[in-house]
Structure 1
């Protein structure tokens, strides 16, 4: 339901607003979306209701060893898939479709850290680039998320999943730049690891999502169950340490 709402009110067709290589491109450094009225609808009808559900669930489960946080790619890592990929482990999903680095920063403590996880797995940033957010802004938000997590517990392990390829050209141009940044952050920050998935999920000779991961409904942004099987394979060695 959340994903359907987000898809209905976001517009990925205006390439000049998210093509970082367009000579007329101007990055967006303000809060929210370029279309503020639709951003308010998203917050009121999708983001806040989902957070209320998470708060209710958190009050019941109290703790979780592993918490996933991020955007729709995390949100679509459904419970049955998580059980399949991480059997016998205490794993909780706190993804929200449409989430950006700035909105994840505002909710990471209440939605995820209140569960006292030993590991936080994060995939975030694609929606920032759909909005044409300034790269430096997205990077600083990501660093602030890490700082907030470690301000609560410096021993919390943070796993940063690379933003995977999509079938949207403009995203596939800028995302590798951000993934390089994530890799560098992990190499220079204690208790942070980078999980590379871009290389395995792209077509062999093209910077776009491989056919084997394409969803059958024509979705250009998300991937199918095989993609989550790959995520599981990549993550398990880190979650079993």
Structure 2
């Protein structure tokens, strides 16, 4: 299995070590090749442009596609973002690559507003992220596209008392947040593919997997 992860700063990693990014954790745990093709500040429109070079030319078996928040911040409508994601999915299918859509998780509005004052309103942004999630789930259901709902999975781990322990700045994830994302992906792979087995992060009590 060879996985390319295409996305924005959530995929690229923000202000943490490369070894602590969720894509690196997946590779280390599963002993499979994972290529991180996240770009800070990237949009889904640009991902469509660079998909051939960053994904197709690397000949992966799978691609995890996650993006949209920078589009929303720039005022791009949710339906346009969904169309871009579908274009990425189609490019993957045409090239015999299995696409997996990653649904963006919510921001923590109060903290994010302190770190990113130029962004208009994070509460409204979260509403748009919810709308985008709905569209992506409908897309997944209609065309039977594989999907990982980070939005829902992160909500299971984010409680009022610990939400500030997961984010660096209300928008990007810290080391613990990246471990949670890695665990969610690993759990999905464990359920979907038979050549992996479940192992646990003792500290987090979260599942991870390794190849067998």
Q: Shorter chain as normaliser: what TM range?
A: 0.7 to 0.9
Shift of 1:68: 0.5
Q: Which residue of 2 aligns with 1:234?
A: 184
- Mapping for residues 69-148 of structure 1, pairs under 5 Å: 69-76=6-13, 79-81=18-20, 82-86=23-27, 87=29, 88-148=31-91
Larger RCO, structures 1/2 (Cα 8 Å, 6+ apart): 2
Residues 61, 98 of structure 2: 8 Å contact kept: yes
- Structure 2 residue corresponding to 1:160, chosen from 101, 112, 117: 101
User: 5+ unaligned residues in a row in structure 1: which ranges?
Assistant: 1-63
Q: Structure 2 CA distance, aligned partners of 1:116 and 1:149?
A: 10
Alignment partner of 1:67 is 2:4? yes
TM-score w.r.t. length of structure 2: 0.72
Shift of 1:151: 1.6
TM-score w.r.t. length of structure 1: 0.64
Q: Structure 1 CA distance, aligned partners of 2:32 and 2:40?
A: 24
Q: Which residue of 1 aligns with 2:148?
A: 195
Judged with a 3 Å threshold, the aligned counterparts in structure 2 of structure 1 residues 98 and 233 are, in CA distance, closer, same or farther, namely same
Q: Which residue of 2 aligns with 1:175?
A: 129
- Structure 1 residue corresponding to 2:166, chosen from 208, 213, 230: 213
How large is the Cα RMSD of the aligned pairs?
2.1
Shift of 1:237: 3.6
Which deviations, in whole Å up to 9, do the C-alpha atoms of 1:13-38 show, x marking residues without a partner? Answer: xxxxxxxxxxxxxxxxxxxxxxxxxx
Residues 109, 149 of structure 1: 8 Å contact kept: no
Shift of 1:211: 2.1
Which deviations, in whole Å up to 9, do the C-alpha atoms of 1:98-146 show, x marking residues without a partner? Answer: 1111000000111111111111011100000001112221121111111
Shift of 1:170: 2.1
Q: Structure 2 CA distance, aligned partners of 1:237 and 1:125?
A: 24
User: 5+ unaligned residues in a row in structure 2: which ranges?
Assistant: 109-121, 194-212
Shift of 1:238: 3.7
Shift of 1:204: 4.4
Residues 71, 123 of structure 1: 8 Å contact kept: yes
Q: Structure 2 CA distance, aligned partners of 1:239 and 1:116?
A: 19
Q: How many residues align?
A: 169
Q: Which has the higher strand share?
A: 2
